[in-house]
Copies of this chain bind each other. A is one copy, B any other.
Amino acid sequence: MIAGIDLGGTNVRIGVINELLEIVEWKEALSEVEKGYDHTIQVIFNLLDQVKADYHIERVGLCAPGPLDHKAGVLLDPPNLKGWGYQPIVQSIERYMSCPVYLLNDANAAALSEAATGAGEGYESVWFTTVSTGIGSGYVYQGKLIQGEKGCTGEIGNMIIVPGGYRHANLNPGSLEGYASGTAIGRIAKEKYGIKGGAFEVIDRAQKGDPQATIILNSTLEYLSTAIANIVHTINPSVFVFGGGVMTDSEYLLPLLSEKVDQRIYGSLQGTIELKAAHHKNEAGVLGAAVYASQQPSQPSIVRGLKS
């Protein structure tokens, strides 16, 4: 049995996954990250106690918000987990569980879950993108993650879409996240037309035919389609899978996005780019983390060269 842990800013979720990649046990609690690292690691231990009693756990996969260093097994000061940077989270859980623990970022975990048993099942390569507060991606090739030399595969929130454009947070001026994330949609709607209520309100109004909201949604999808077209011409994945709050109404949004992608790719590729909605919801992180752990050589962190 493998346990998957999804450590988020709001919840900690833990699942036990069998060999068929089915979730056979599920536990969750508030992560209460504002109370600090020591508190939340105890929340994780408490949940693990509940599954240790009933299942023999051989490995643990742990996903968390980036940026993180998956090789070193540490978080690098993620904005939603203040004070967690460089804490020995992998080693702590390893000691508690007496089994190897593997860390990866949450977008990568979701990508793996979709490739394994979701919308990307059966495709040679899967490009997963979550459009939410921020924008992040994961890339699965022949069933395995390609994380890149420094683990920055899929950091497309920092892709330059509008050279010299708006600067969002510490990203590049004109970054994708600054123009097409939920945060960006909310900001632009408010600045341009005084529309409050964020991305959901904009999408809802656009769907009802509101002209101002339609203009905003349209330009958002143009920015996003520029990024998708750039990914097509960079790595040409077999399928694009979309998750995240902004993409919730995928039946409305994906056909609009697809049309704009086709306007930005080679004629010979038009009509060949598949865009699909993510299959997994709250279980994506837990499942993907477990799949990731199952694919690693079974070695504790000390053997893998992690400092304790």
Contacts and interface: CB of A to CB of B under 8 A. Distances in A.
Nearest to A76: B268
Contact of A237 (B67, B149, B236, B266): B149
Given A158-B233, A160-B264, A272 B148 contact: no
23 contacts: A67-B266, A125-B149, A139-B235, A149-B237, A149-B238, A149-B272, A150-B268, A152-B232, A152-B233, A153-B234, A154-B234, A156-B233, A159-B234, A160-B229, A160-B264, A161-B163, A163-B226, A172-B229, A172-B264, A230-B230, A230-B234, A231-B234, A235-B235
Given A141-B141, A160-B229, A229-B160, A269 B238 contact: no
A267 interface: yes
A141 B125 CA distance: 13
A4 to B, nearest CB: 24
Contacts of A233: 152, 155-159
Interface of A: 67, 76, 124-125, 137, 139, 141, 146-163, 170, 172, 226, 229-238, 264-269, 272
Contacts of A237: 148-149
Contacts of A160: 226, 229-230, 264
A223 to B, nearest CB: 8
A124 B269 CA distance: 29
Contacts of A172: 229, 264
Contacts of A149: 124-125, 236-238, 272
Contacts of A269: 150, 152
Contacts of A152: 232-233, 236, 266, 269
A153 B146 CA distance: 15
A153 B266 contact: no
Nearest to A142: B146
B158 A266 contact: yes
Most buried by B among A151, A153, A238, A272: A153
A143 B10 CA distance: 41
